[in-house]
Amino acid sequence: MSKESSPSGVRPPAALTCVLLTLALAALTVAPTGCARTTTADAPEAPPAARTVDAADTLHGIVVPDPYRWLEDFESEEAQAWVDVQNAYTEAVLATFPDRDQLRARLDELFQIPSLGYMWERGDRLFFLRRDPENEQQVLYVRRGVEGEPTKLIDPEDFGDDVPVGLDWWHPTPDGRLLAYGISEGGSESSTLYVMDVDSKELHPDTIPHTRAVSLAWKPDKSGFYYTRFPSPGEVPDDELYYHRRVFYHELGTNSADDPLIFGGDLEMHTWTGISLSTNGRWLFGYAMYGSAENDIYLMDLESDEGWKPFVVGLATRTSGVPIEDEFFMSTQHEAPNGRIFRVDLTKPGREHWVEIIPESENAIETYMYVSGRVFVRYLENAHSNVRVFDRDGTHLNDVELPDMATVFDWTGNWKGDDAFIGISSYLLPPRILRYDIDTGELAVNMAVEAPIDTAPYVTRQVWYTSRDGTEVSMFLVHRRDTELDGTNPTVLTGYGGFTSSTTPGFARNRYLWLDHGGVWAEPNLRGGGEYGEEWHRDGMLGNKQNTFDDFIAAAEWLIENGYTSPERLAVWGGSNGGLLTGAFATQRPDLAGVVISDVPLLDMVRFHRFYAAMIWTPEYGTPEEPEQFEWLYDYSPYHRIVDGRAYPAILFTTAESDSRVHPSHAMKATARLQAATSSGRPILLHYERKAGHGMGLQMSTILDQYVDYYSFLFSQMGMRYGRAH
């Protein structure tokens, strides 16, 4: 849920452009060493070969063949017939795993463990997400006071049965009495905005379409709000509907078609805009974001008629801020790749008047918030959370004592309140929300997930290994304390490495089945992420993207060399940008793993920018339209690195019909190409999900089905049987 315009806290701007898909990967079990491999002899030997076409692009003098381009029209009758055959083949292969029913039963038990999600404190109300066993998705609740009884506000299941509906985002008013929220169907994230009276649950007549991933700022008097939306069909050419995100103003009770354009009309169409408003309603901030590494900020004094003025423009770095009354508490990476914080008097906004209150440190600032004269700063210390509390002048007051190697997954507080709520979890700690008393510094559990899991047999370790260019990279390992380093342990290696998104310790309920049966879980902190500041990010973007793949490959080599696993017992798994990661791994080092899962991936890096809103990712990846950048992209593009006759691992690609971020043709074309090319005899599978998108709004029953498939694939390809300890 977007918190981009929160007046007391900020999220990194990367959250707006990131193709981040966070998957709570499920669990595996293993058979004793030497057990017979489960075969797919009863399944069809292979799907019918996909036809090829004589299609190619000539870019900068290089001819780039694209024999499966016809699959880019994935809604065509021919492509849908091909998808039906692929899904049938995948189902037939996965059905041969004999323990699917037992696997489903155990995963279902684990999915019954509740979840806690994002939260927002406004007025005397705490809004938060929670999913209980009876829920298909997370439900939005509101609670009055510290110990008030939660009341259900929005349950996506109440919106219909035929097509899954998702709650995409939500923004309460400063006093918590009204709520603007976005609903979309089928995982599309194409939201329609609604406004609810929180106490009565009655809807206002106001509805606004095309509010995908909205940035929204309520006026203090609740008379209206500033918000972002995309064009309606017909306003721009069809191939530009995912761009031109602009800021408008809506007065409650008026026709949204008449909402005036406020900000962004003169910006290039690929620029991602955002909005925030100071707590006194005077200062309006317009954000112009250029990928995950750079943004500009413009300022308007609503008590004058001078319009927008440049505030932080041209620094070519990330800057964000918390506008409190007539001050702006601003974090920037300008001349400080780990971030530093200034206090700016908005009546004198010139840079010469900025006052640095929290200097750069050896740890990267992840985000921060302002509560009752305190600045809470969340640092990443060796890729896990560390929270420090300062006064408004930057004097360090104290640290918030968190469990070892924990992650703050969210936090909230009123800017003049008397408490802060901090949500934490770790690999071995189920989610809980802590209440921090501003006056006393006392920290106490306010809400917690009860999980019937004994964590005593497990251990979390952080290790360091050397990547190809000599860079030291950290990696988290989770496994049983009695794990023997004999090279036989089945291991899942997963990662992301992009858009400043950080891989940190987090709770995944279904992972415990894997751990219980001797599995090793490995998560490296790859370059391209934000774990070690902006330099770490930039070392894994644009022309440095191969560093991300080298870091991942080196992690696999380290696990093998140090006796944790072997290539045939190693599976790599990632989604979205992490799907690109696993696709690059599979095509660059197919000898290092036996199994690959690539969820909703980018795989054709020569044509990725042609679909949906992918042009907003070119600051991260580069564009094939530029000769030098084409060279980077073409060199590692997984679809183009596939070689006829090479032995590839068993691979499962997934995609979804309503995915509005990554085009389904990435997975479809790579599936067809690999099925024709591989010589290993191991299956190349595609699962194409209908009535789903990039992962948002999925029902728990659908998630359960997906994970049964994932692990049936892993079990069968790694010679594993459910219920037999390693």
Query: Sorting pLDDT into bands at 50, 70 and 90, what band is 161?
Result: low
A 10 A CB-CB count for 399 gives 12
Q: Which of 436, 359, 371 is nearest to 399 (CA)?
A: 436
- Does residue 576 carry a catalytic annotation? yes
- Does residue 76 carry a catalytic annotation? no
Q: What is the per-residue pLDDT for 7?
A: 37
Cα 540 to Cα 107, 332, 350, 500, distances in angstroms: 35, 20, 34, 9
Q: What is the mean pLDDT of residues 35-40?
A: 34
Which tokens belong to 542? Answer: 């644009």
pLDDT tens-digit readout, 284-330:
999 999 999 999 999 999 999 999 999 999 999 999 999 999 999 99
451 found inside a domain:
no
Tell how strand 595-599 and strand 520-524 pair up: unpaired
Q: Provide the percentage of residues in the chain whose pLDDT is more than 70.
A: 92
pLDDT tens-digit readout, 514-553:
888 889 999 999 999 999 999 999 999 999 999 999 999 9
A 10 A CB-CB count for 309 gives 12
Query: Sorting pLDDT into bands at 50, 70 and 90, what band is 29?
Result: very low
Q: Which of 366, 510, 501 is nearest to 21 (CA)?
A: 501
Is residue 121 predicted with pLDDT exceeding 80?
yes
632 found inside a domain:
yes
Query: Sorting pLDDT into bands at 50, 70 and 90, what band is 690?
Result: confident
Supply the CATH number for residue 673's domain: 3.40.50.1820
Q: What is the per-residue pLDDT for 696?
A: 62
Q: Which of 684, 724, 586, 541 is nearest to 28 (CA)?
A: 724
Is residue 32 predicted with pLDDT exceeding 50?
no
Is residue 34 predicted with pLDDT exceeding 70?
no
Is 90 in a helix, a strand, or coil? Answer: helix
Q: What is the per-residue pLDDT for 45?
A: 67
Q: What is the mean pLDDT of residues 631-646?
A: 98
- 694, 712, 716, 726: the active-site residue: 694
50 found inside a domain:
no
- Which domain covers residue 489, as residue numbers? 56-110+458-496+510-717
Is residue 90 predicted with pLDDT exceeding 50?
yes
Is residue 401 predicted with pLDDT exceeding 50?
yes
Helices (H) and strands (E) in the chain, counts: 12, 39
Query: Sorting pLDDT into bands at 50, 70 and 90, what band is 44?
Result: low
Cα 634 to Cα 217, 498, 541, 625, distances in angstroms: 41, 18, 15, 11
322 found inside a domain:
no
227 found inside a domain:
no
Query: Sorting pLDDT into bands at 50, 70 and 90, what band is 3?
Result: very low
99 found inside a domain:
yes
614 found inside a domain:
yes
Total structural domains within the chain: 1
166 found inside a domain:
no
Cα separation, 489 vs 29, in Å, equals 10
Q: What is the mean pLDDT of residues 407-411?
A: 98
Is residue 35 predicted with pLDDT exceeding 70?
no
The alpha-carbon radius of gyration of the chain (Å, integer) is 25
- 320, 385, 576, 637: the active-site residue: 576
Looking at 133-200, list the stretches that DSSP marks H as alpha helix, in order from N- to C-terminal side. Answer: none
Q: What is the per-residue pLDDT for 514?
A: 85
Phi first, then psi: give them for residue 703, nearest 5 degrees: -60, -40
Q: What is the per-residue pLDDT for 21?
A: 30
Query: Sorting pLDDT into bands at 50, 70 and 90, what band is 71?
Result: very high
Looking at the DSSP bridge assignments, the partners of residue 465 are 473
